[in-house]
Amino acid sequence: MGLPLLDTKYSSKPHRVASIPAVNAEDKPWVLDRYDLRDEQGLQSFIFAAYRQIFSEHLILESNRQTELESQLRNGKLLVKDFVRGLGKSEVFRRLVLEPNTNYRFVEICLKRFLGREPYNKQELIKWSIIIAEKGYHAFIDAVVDGAEYAEAFGEDTLPYQRRPLSQPFNLTTPRLADIFQDDQRSPWERYAGPKFFVGWKDTVEGYTVFGPPKPGDSKAFLDIALSIASQNVSPTRVSVWDIKIPDMTKR
């Protein structure tokens, strides 16, 4: 009996990010749906956008094209959702994406391309990796495409797109330190006040509270011992050259 799909606690990255662009912004995502398949030009644009989204190709290689899926889409036998599913299950997708990566990395790539977002946290990566390990990656593609999030975001007739088109440079992010250090509200100086005692902020009314020495086995105790070791100052003894007896090394 396989493990059930784990629940994921949704969370965001610990830094501020830019908001979604306005409706008339230049960075508005390029949304394509079944209504764009009315003529041949719209069909070709749609197919190109699908390969670019799922295969991450900006130039469609003839050897990577899925002509059977394209024909079924052209004749109206496939929903856009099933066309996307077919691209994800293709041998080309397996060779380009699945085989060169680990399961965690594969899940991350698929969430970006099929759901248009990054994974929320490590727990979500583990959740989907279990599906791949137990049922195979085809079952994972089905679980993502048939999921509630895909249906709410894209439905059956809309091609997946990047729902968060703006990326924040790593050197410009403003960390939310409260999420990272929420269990330790002391300042860096208070955390490293000394090896014997440390000062912790308890309350704005009570002020500072001095805690006792560290318990045996604590690294602070070892640091205290190391700092207490002092080398003894030894005064050098002056020796005259005439007092040094040099042995006779001449050969006889």
What residue numbers does the annotated binding site for (2R,3E)-phycocyanobilin cover? 74, 103-104, 129, 176
DSSP for 159-186 reads ----SS-----GGG--B-HHHHSTT---
Strand partners, 158: 33
Distance of CA 176 to the CA centre of its chain: 17
Alpha helices in the chain (DSSP H): 40-54, 67-74, 80-89, 91-93, 103-114, 122-135, 137-145, 148-153, 177-180, 188-191, 219-228
Instruction: Read off the amino acid at residue 177.
Output: L
3-state secondary structure of 196: coil
Residue appearing with tokens 């500072």:
208
Distance between CA atoms of 160 and 46, rounded to whole angstroms?
A: 11
Query: How many CB atoms lie under 10 A from the CB of residue 146?
Result: 11
Among 119, 97, 114, 108, CA closest to 158: 114
Under a CB-based contact definition with an 8 Å cutoff, are residues 118 and 41 in contact? no
Q: Is 43 left (phi over 0), alpha (psi -120 to 50) or beta?
A: alpha
Known binding-site residues equal 74, 103-104, 129, 176
User: Do 174 and 15 form a contact (C-beta atoms < 8 A)?
Assistant: yes
